[in-house]
Structure 1
Amino acid sequence: MYDWNALWHEREAYRTGYDIRHGDVNELAGALKARLIHSAAGAGQIAVYEDDNRYILAGHDGGLQLLEVMKHGLFDITLRFVSEDEGQGVPLPYVEIHVDNLATEEQAVWRAETRIDDEGRVWVGKRTLDENVLPAMPFDDLSFTDNAEFREELARVWHEDLPQLRPLIEAWFHHGGEIGPADEPAHYGDAERVQQMCDRYAEIVRREQAQLSRMFSDDELRLIAGVIAGIHFDSAASCRGVWLAVEARIIEDELDQQHQIDAEALLSKMKGLSYAQEVALIEALSPLS
């Protein structure tokens, strides 16, 4: 589910050390009052235990060391500027903040319309970017909504990441909207020109697919293919954000356990895909009609 080794090393400063050497870190379930969910494969490896509220990582480093990781702290916040209709019932364009936590199996989304007023100020919902004031967001249903780390990260996303979207928002209003008859794009050209464009598209997809084949394991690709099989990509915009559909199915159907993969690692890789890579992934894994 998570990259336990990465957590173990990233949070080294938070480990608790004991001046004892326990023979087998895979046999601490009784002492920790938690269930073993990941066994240490050998010396130098870590075992992972779980109870209702936390994960406990156990390993040896000059003695027994334990690392507690609270599930409420394993949230992820994704910020998006949405400029094409995705069927959410929110006027375009809008900002979307998506919060999810695989450990607690929770997710929530906040969306707010963006606009530019006569003075050139960018508004997101009822706040301007220049106000630097975090608006109220309906994340009350999340069990970790009052968690200090969550509130700090949410504020950081609003104050630091959101202003970086200003050029995209301004460009949409300056160059977006309906295209009038006088501004209609020219025809792509004759059949030869269209074929040339198709060949270039195919080459882009081929190159991206070659890279994707090295990025994802066969089991990961089978999982993604199973999710994609139930989705209709009717527009170019619908190809963006495939990871959201994969995450939803992992939470609902525990596909990561069925395919025996690390869900957190898979989603991390998918979130980092470019639009071209997502299209290439869809082209490779979508069933032929």
Structure 2
Amino acid sequence: MTDQTRHALKELQRLDEELRDARDEIEQVVESIADVDEPALALESDVGKTQGRLQELRVEERRVELSAKEKAARIERLDERLKGVRNVREEAAVSAELEMVKRSMESDEQEAYSLIDQIRKLELQLEEQQSALEQARQEIEPRRVELEADRARREAAIAEMDEQRKAFVETMPESEIRMYEGIRRGGRRRAVAALTEDGACGHCFSMLPLQLQNEIRHGVALIRCEACGVILAQPVAEDEGDDEAAGADAGAPEGDIDTDG
């Protein structure tokens, strides 16, 4: 692996780490927005339930009113019929039917009064809920606007970073990109690690054969750790600091990884 290749892959890995961190930060902002919205959303749910129940009661009230009107009209017809009965038997039958309809209409009227009372109480409850919802929205709006602006800024920054990465990748050999992307596929954060001074993988710390160590140190080719699969680079020079320290996911080998070529 030449110095140019090593630095290119390290730079690509750095860009990917920054992109991943930036996306994680946006997720945190989105969670913060959800937390801010939660009280208002709960009130919105309550308002919706109350409105739905009001609608049901109003439909039921109309049904009862129509039923009562129909029975009132029927009572009028029975009263007229009662005036023209020809015998006692017919009079008794009409009177019995008339009494039954009147009782039924009284029941409808009582039900209508009950529904009207429930509707009135729910309308008052709805007014209170809507007032509380409006107040909650006013209280959270400044913070929500702030968070949405922060989210927009971060998304714009990520879009710019994506463009930078795309331009950078176009300068690199396709075979290197395939190998690099194959290693990172599945969520692994680190695809390139430096060989340690004593000849171990800087990611999983497995010792490498001397021949592979020499090839890596001399930049002969792209060589991967047989244990964890990362691309191995020359040991880090002292002036490069700790940039090549093992990542947070260093540890046990991760098994075979498709190199895509």
TM-score by length of 1: 0.19
TM-score by length of 2: 0.21
Higher strand share: 1
The structure whose Rg is larger is 2
Higher helix share: 2
Higher RCO (CA < 8 A, seq sep 6+): 2
